[in-house]
Copies of this chain bind each other. A is one copy, B any other.
Amino acid sequence: MEEAETTHHDDNRHAEKMAKKKAAREKIMATKTDEKGLVVVHTGKGKGKSSAAFGMIFRHIAHGKRCAVVQFIKGAMSTGERDLIVRHFADLCEFHTMGEGFTWETQDRARDVATAHAAWEKAKDLIRDERNSMVLLDEINIALRYDYLDVNEVITFLKDEKPHMTHVVLTGRNAKEELIEIADLATEMELLKHPFRSGIKAQAGVEY
């Protein structure tokens, strides 16, 4: 009996606490009224930078909105999501794989610089095209980090030429501070634990 009363008391306190939380949340949300295209950055050493960006691409597809992906570094990303998009949703999402592998794979700086510039030209065209609601620049941070591309050029373009309602998502570790500075939404994926440390290899459906 006593236990039942305590539980009942706890449930009431819980309900009260949750009612407050709900009211507070609704009050905050009511102040959020603007819409605009966001500059989104996913960085950090953890997993999920590209996957979380692809999540947004898939949401766009689910809503029937047009989007596009430019992959700055080939092989950096899992091919799973790309295959799925190319096979099923090519009418809603354009896909351009411009890079030629991680920079330590190609070992040719001049070629990497040329590739990064070609990818950036394609990215600009896609962002300027207002039919696209979102453009994902996958692993562009790697090209920016090695100065294959000038971060100021990218920032100036995003500020001055990006259509107001277009979302641009930029992924890759070591995002430049200047880029995070101008982002509307920035997330750092931090690695807490990794299976490679226990000798587990990359597996289909997880890493690729």
Contacts and interface: CB of A to CB of B under 8 A. Distances in A.
Interface string A10-33: 110011001101100100110111
The size bracket of the interface on A is: 35 or more
Contacts of A19: 104, 107
Interface string A26-65: 0011011111101011101011111111111011111101
A56 B186 CA distance: 21
Contacts of A186: 191-193
B180 A15 contact: no
A162 to B, nearest CB: 15
Contacts of A41: 192
A34 B200 contact: yes
Interface stretch (A78-86, A120-128, A150-158): A78-86
Contacts of A78: 55, 59
A5 interface: no
A184 interface: yes
A55 B48 contact: yes
Contacts of A180: 192-193
Contact of A200 (B32, B48, B190, B204): B32
Contact of A10 (B14, B80, B104, B109): B109
Contacts of A190: 44, 187-190
A141 interface: no
A183 B193 contact: yes
A131 B206 CA distance: 16
Interface in A137-192: 167, 180, 183-192
A60 B34 CA distance: 37
Counting from the closest, the 5 A-B pairs by CB-CB distance are A51-B55, A48-B52, A59-B80, A62-B80, A186-B192
Given A51-B53, A134-B206, 14 more contacts: A15-B109, A22-B105, A34-B198, A38-B203, A47-B187, A50-B55, A51-B56, A55-B78, A56-B205, A59-B208, A61-B84, A63-B204, A63-B205, A186-B191
